[in-house]
């Protein structure tokens, strides 16, 4: 095996080992100073771990449990005006900055939100308290119900038209259809969906930080942040980071067999023409109620952000140079993170392709995807803790801190980039590898003429998504932000914490608009970049 031919993957692995390994090493070295017995017997720590698991489990069950009937409604009603737009709307919470969505959720379900005002006026039920477990669950369902719908829709796409025709001739009822046709197809998608959402909720940071409402509703990630930023206790933060690492790695390893690349679908390939129950009035009404309710649940907070933003002190906020300085920092972080993630993903994918096609190592694809999805087992907050401790030890300048935030964000974005690029690149190789070999198409020439046209769109989409996610991410940026160089999401968080909701609303709108712009520009520019 010519090792020199595998350098792109080698570079990618070196990058991952350097950042992840380096930060973990720092954590482990700091850990020597901790009093293990004392911290482990701390009842508060026990309650934090219990709460982390409890809220993740409840959030997952609620999100997927509610997503199932909604996805079924979309699957059954495969043709109606506006369906495509509504399914697209389901994708919005995935790319939306968490802190902005939280502001929207508070506007609708908060103490002075629309729902509570209605409850007070009508007196139907006592006012709803959004802070604490209920708020965390609400926000997690807001983010993960639409994600689950889009992850589950392909289960219906897999059902061939013949199955519905057969069910028609057998006279199956709706429940029998679910039992004999839909459920068997769902079983190959449900475990992966549950695992992904559980891990997302388990490592959720901004939602718990803003809606947690005190020590009774804190997760390990937030505890790490509080220990570093408020208690300034690196030894304890180190131990918390190691606990979080152990928990995530255990969960990821235990559930590894269900964690596979799930396609996100818009449910456009459905063959439900001959489905027996899709025309029945009862089911049409039931589906309409589910679709409208889920759309309102997702759409209202988003609409609230826009309305509140437009009613806020727009000029005062956008003329403030601090806002644009923060925007500049966030943009720099987003561009660097997404470029790095795309390069690392490309390196891993190219080497995996070479291993699969030239060295007959079919397992290389899975290994590459796993290496790139390291952040599932090693959450960004843990890596961030290591880098934070490293910054403390080395007295780094401010610019370097921003660079480290970008590095962690690159790792966060990497799984998306890798899962978008690798399958297309490897598939293109499967089709054209021998033809390229025969024509002498190699290296840069092959990349320019054959690979780039194939991966241009997935790279553009992944870069757009990664850029938007990184631009709106608050987790690690909040941890590092110690010297006044705040990012835009952190600025929004500070304004929300200071109850400056009118300014926060405008800031949120700016954040959303620039996030969309980042996604659109990267997606459009790269998607059309000529070869």
Partner 1 sequence: MAFLTLEQITFALGDWQLRASVQVPQGHCVALIGASGAGKSTLLSLIAGFETPDRGQILVNDVDISSFAPSQRPVTMMFQEHNLFAHLSLYDNIALGCHPGLKLTATDRDTIDRALAATGLSELSSRRPADVSGGERQRAALARCLCQKRPVLLLDEPFASLDPRLRQQMHELVDQLRRAHGLTVIVVSHLPHEVARIADEVIFMHEGSVKEQGPVDITLGDPQSPELRDYLQFTGGE
Interface contacts to partner 1, rule CB under 8 A: 431-432, 434-435, 437-442, 445, 449-450, 453-454
Query: Among the residues of 262-363, which ranges form H helices?
Result: 281-311, 314-318, 321-357
Comparison of 120 and 430: residue with beta carbon closer to partner 1: 430
Measured from the CB atom, is 194 or 450 closer to partner 1?
450
Residue 396: strand, helix, or coil? coil
Cβ distance to partner 1 smaller for residue 452 or 501: 452
- In angstroms, what is the minimal distance from the CB of 341 to partner 1? 25
DSSP output for 433-493:
HHHHHHHT--HHHHIIIIIHHHHHHHHHHHHHHHHHHHHH--HHHHHH--SS---HHHHHH
Shortest Å, Cβ 168 to partner 1: 34
What is the token pair recorded at 107? 């506007």
- Whether 185 and 164 have beta carbons less than 8 Å apart is answered as no
CB of 447 to partner 1, least distance (A): 11
Tell me the C-alpha distance between 454 and 450, whole Å. Answer: 7
Nearer to partner 1, 275 or 446 (CB): 446
**Cα–Cα distance measured from residue 496 to residue 523, given in angstroms and rounded to the nearest whole number:** 31
| SS3 per residue for 229-271 | HCCCCHHHHHHHHHHHHHHHHHHHHHCCCCCCCCCCCCCCCCC
Our CB check for partner 1 shows the closer of 131 and 432 to be 432
Q: How far is the CB of 437 from partner 1 (least distance, A)?
A: 4
For the bound state, the minimum distance from the C-beta of residue 440 to partner 1, rounded and expressed in Å, comes to 3
CA–CA distance from 114 to each of 18, 102, 120, 299 (Å)? 49, 15, 10, 14
* Among the listed residues 66, 275, 68, the one whose alpha carbon sits nearest the alpha carbon of residue 159: 275
Nearest distance in Å: CB 446, partner 1: 8
Least separation in angstroms between CB 430 and partner 1: 9
How far is residue 437 CA from its own chain's centroid? 38
d(CA 241, CA 235): 10
Q: Which is nearer to partner 1, 111 or 431 (CB)?
A: 431
182 CB contacts (<8 Å, ≥6 apart)?
A: 72, 75, 155, 156, 159
Q: Based on CB atoms, which residue is closest to partner 1, 43 or 438?
A: 438
Task: Give the residue with the Cβ less far from partner 1, 430 or 524.
Answer: 430
Structure tokens at 178: 């679910």
- Smallest separation, CB 527 to partner 1 (Å): 14
Q: How far is the CB of 439 from partner 1 (least distance, A)?
A: 5
Closest approach of partner 1 to the CB of residue 521, in Å: 24
- Pick between residue 254 and residue 439 the one whose CB is nearest to partner 1: 439
Least distance (Å) from partner 1 to the CB of residue 423? 17
Q: Which is nearer to partner 1, 150 or 446 (CB)?
A: 446
Count, residues in the chain: 531
Rounded to whole angstroms, the Cα distance separating 527 from 520 reads 10
**Nearest CB to partner 1, comparing residues 170 and 435:** 435
**Of 93, 99, 131, 94, which is closest to residue 112 (Cα–Cα)?**
131
CA distance 197 to 381: 18
d(CA 323, CA 331): 12
User: Of 273 and 448, which CB lies nearer to partner 1 in the complex structure?
Assistant: 448
Shortest distance (Å) from residue 449 CB to partner 1? 7
Q: Which of 380, 383, 467 is nearest to 204 (CA)?
A: 380
């Amino acid at each position: 095996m010519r090792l020199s031919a595998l350098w792109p993957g080698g570079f990618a692995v070196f990058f991952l080992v350097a950042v992840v390994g380096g930060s973990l090493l720092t954590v482990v070295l700091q850990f020597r100073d901790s009093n293990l017995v004392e911290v482990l017997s701390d009842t508060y720590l026990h309650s934090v771990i219990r709460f982390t698991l409890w809220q993740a489990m409840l959030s997952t069950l609620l999100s997927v449990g509610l997503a199932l009937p909604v996805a079924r409604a979309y699957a059954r009603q495969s043709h109606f005006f506006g369906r495509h737009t509504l399914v697209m709307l389901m994708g919005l919470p995935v790319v939306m900055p968490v802190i902005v969505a939280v502001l929207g959720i508070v506007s609708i379900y908060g103490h002075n939100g629309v729902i509570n005002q209605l409850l007070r006026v009508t007196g139907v039920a006592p006012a709803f308290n959004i802070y604490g477990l209920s708020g965390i669950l609400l926000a997690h369902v807001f983010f993960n119900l639409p994600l689950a719908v889009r992850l589950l829709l392909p289960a219906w796409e897999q059902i061939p038209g013949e199955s519905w025709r057969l069910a028609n001739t057998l006279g199956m009822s709706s429940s029998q259809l679910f039992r004999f046709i839909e459920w068997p197809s769902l079983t190959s998608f449900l475990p992966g969906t549950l695992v992904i959402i559980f891990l997302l909720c388990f490592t959720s940071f901004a939602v718990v930080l803003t809606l947690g409402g005190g020590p009774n509703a804190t997760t390990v990630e937030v505890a790490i942040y509080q220990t570093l930023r408020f208690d300034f206790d690196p030894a304890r933060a180190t131990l918390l980071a190691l606990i979080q690492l152990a928990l995530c790695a255990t969960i990821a390893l235990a559930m590894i067999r269900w964690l596979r690349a799930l396609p996100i679908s818009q449910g456009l390939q459905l063959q439900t023409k001959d489905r027996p129950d899709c025309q029945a009035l009862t089911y049409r009404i039931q589906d309409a109620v589910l679709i409208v309710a889920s759309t309102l649940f997702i759409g209202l907070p988003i609409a609230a952000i826009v309305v509140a933003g437009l009613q806020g002190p727009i000029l005062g906020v956008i003329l403030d140079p601090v806002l644009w300085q923060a925007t500049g920092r966030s943009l720099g972080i987003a561009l660097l993170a997404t470029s790095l993630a795309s390069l690392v993903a490309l390196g891993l994918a190219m080497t995996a392709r070479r291993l699969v096609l030239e060295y007959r190592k079919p397992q290389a694809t899975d290994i590459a995807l796993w290496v790139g999805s390291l952040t599932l087992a090693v959450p960004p907050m843990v890596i961030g803790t290591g880098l934070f401790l490293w910054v403390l030890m080395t007295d780094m300048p401010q610019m370097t801190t921003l660079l480290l935030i970008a590095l962690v964000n690159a790792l966060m974005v990497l799984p998306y980039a890798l899962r978008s690029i690798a399958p297309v690149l490897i598939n293109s190789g499967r089709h054209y590898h021998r033809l390229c070999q025969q024509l002498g198409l190699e290296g840069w020439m092959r990349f320019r003429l054959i690979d780039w046209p194939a991966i241009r769109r997935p790279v553009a989409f992944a870069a757009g998504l990664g850029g938007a996610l990184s631009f709106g991410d608050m987790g690690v940026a909040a941890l590092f932000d110690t010297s006044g160089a705040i990012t835009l999401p952190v600025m929004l968080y500070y304004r929300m914490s200071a109850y400056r909701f009118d300014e926060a609303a405008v800031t949120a709108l700016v954040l959303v608009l620039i996030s969309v712009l980042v996604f659109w520009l990267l997606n459009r520019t790269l998607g059309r970049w000529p070869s």
